[in-house]
């Protein structure tokens, strides 16, 4: 693939990431932030209970207000994340085109986005699901972050390996059987990784289960929307670069011929 085409797809991938990030921000604000507020209320109630009558001191003043965190802070984080993710996904699309089967541009973009959601969001979520405030020991934050990113790296590598295995088996087993075998191998490998990696922090005994469940559901829902929108938008934008409409292509090819004077 030519470098100019790669650059064009990279720019469109980042644009797709921005648009997908805007959609994800809307969903995160609507269904995620209320659960964060509920978790903060639980944390404050617990702190007030433990400090009652004990001279717990004045509460710490927030450096950034909750209103700013839930609007400007959240939108900035989601848009930066979406832009970076869009660029990486566009590069993955450049590599995957023509290598994962006889798929068109849109289908390949959807395939790459689905694989990204599986490897980057869903599988790590199974081992280290998102936790709201008041859940998790601050002293183990660095360890938990490192293990989460290790789970992402392992999942991505295992998915790439499963795709390569499927391609290797396809000529002898057929596409359907090779896909089933590769998927089973991926599931077994992920299961082993989930079993042997250390667990996350224990949930506090009195933390409301409904708040925790709704927060985690909102978290994975935002990720699903982000990846789905990214795959659809990137597929549409990329197809306009790689598969121009016949009328546009014929018009572009006719313009040089029309400029040649008749002899």
Q: Is the pLDDT of residue 122 over 80?
A: yes
pLDDT at residue 2, rounded to an integer: 79
State residue 61's pLDDT score.
Answer: 59
More confident residue, 113 or 104: 113
Choose between 215 and 207: higher pLDDT. 215
Please classify residue 117 by burial: count the beta carbons closer than 10 Å to its beta carbon, then call 0-12 exposed, 13-18 middle and 19+ buried.
buried
Task: Report d(CA 16, CA 236) in Å as an integer.
Answer: 9
Confidence of residue 103 (pLDDT cuts 50, 70, 90): confident
- The predicted model scores a pTM of 0.82
Q: What are the DSSP calls for 159-191, one per residue?
A: HHHHHHHHHHHHHHH-HHHHHHHHHHHHHHHHH
What's the pLDDT score for residue 56? 46
Lowest-confidence region among 1-5, 137-141, 145-149, 193-197: 137-141
For the cut 70, the answer to whether the pLDDT of residue 46 exceeds it is no
Note the pLDDT of residue 210. Answer: 85
Average pLDDT over residues 195-200: 85
Evaluate whether 233 touches 39 at the Cβ level (below 8 Å).
Answer: no
Going from N- to C-terminal start, the domains of the chain cover 1-45+69-128+204-243, 136-202
Written in H, E and C, the secondary structure of the chain is: CCHHHHHHHHHHHHHHHHHHHHHHHHHHHHHHHHHHHHHHHHHHHHHHHHHCCCCCCCCCCCCCCHHHHHHHHHHHHHHHHHHHHHHHHHHHHHHHCCCCCCCCHHHHHHHHHHHHHHHHHHHHHHHCCCCCCCCCCHHHHHHHHHHHHHHHHHHHHHHHHHHHHHHHHHHHHCHHHHHHHHHHHHHHHHHHHHHHCCCCCCCCCCCCHHHHHHHHHHHHHHHHHHHHHHHHHHHHHHHHHHCCCHHHHHHHHHHHHHHCCCC
Looking at residue 50, its pLDDT comes to: 55
Mean pLDDT, residues 32-50 taken together: 74
Check whether 57 has a pLDDT greater than 50: no
Q: Is the pLDDT of residue 263 over 50?
A: no
Q: Decide which of 132 and 262 is more confident.
A: 132
Comparing 9-18, 77-86, 130-139, 251-260, the range with the smallest average pLDDT is 251-260
Closest CA to 217 of 134, 125, 150: 125
For the chain, the average pLDDT equals 83
- Rounded average pLDDT over 196-220: 83
pLDDT of residue 232: 95
Q: Which residues contact 140 (CB under 8 A, 6 or more apart)?
A: 201
Average confidence (pLDDT) over 128-149? 78
Average pLDDT of 256-261? 48
Q: What is the pLDDT of residues 216-255, one digit of tens each?
A: 999 999 999 999 999 999 999 999 888 776 644 455 555 5
What is the C-alpha to C-alpha distance for residues 90 and 135, in angstroms, rounded to an integer?
35
């Amino acid at each position: 693939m030519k470098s100019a085409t790669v650059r064009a797809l990279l720019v469109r991938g980042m644009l797709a990431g921005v648009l997908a990030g805007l959609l994800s921000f809307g969903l995160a604000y609507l269904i995620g932030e209320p659960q964060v507020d509920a978790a903060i209320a639980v944390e404050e109630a617990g702190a007030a209970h433990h400090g009652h009558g004990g001279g717990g001191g004045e509460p710490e003043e927030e450096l950034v207000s909750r209103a700013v965190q839930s609007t400007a802070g959240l939108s900035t984080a989601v848009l930066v994340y979406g832009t970076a993710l869009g660029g990486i996904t566009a590069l993955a699309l450049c590599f995957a085109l023509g290598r994962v089967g006889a798929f068109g541009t849109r289908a390949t973009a959807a395939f790459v986005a689905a694989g990204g959601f599986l490897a980057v969001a869903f599988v790590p979520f199974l081992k280290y699901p998102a936790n709201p405030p008041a859940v998790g020991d601050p002293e183990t934050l660095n360890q938990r972050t490192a293990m989460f990113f290790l789970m992402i790296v392992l999942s991505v590598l295992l998915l790439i390996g499963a795709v390569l295995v499927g391609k290797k088996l396809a000529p002898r087993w057929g596409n359907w059987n090779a896909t089933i075998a590769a998927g089973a191998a991926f599931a077994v490998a992920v299961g082993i990784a989930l079993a042997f990696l250390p667990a996350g922090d224990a949930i506090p005994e009195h933390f409301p289960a409904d708040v925790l469940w709704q927060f985690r559901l909102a978290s994975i829902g935002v990720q699903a929307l982000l990846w789905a929108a990214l795959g659809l938008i990137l597929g549409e934008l990329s197809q306009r670069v790689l598969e121009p409409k016949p009328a546009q292509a014929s018009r572009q090819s006719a313009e040089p011929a029309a400029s040649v004077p008749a002899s």
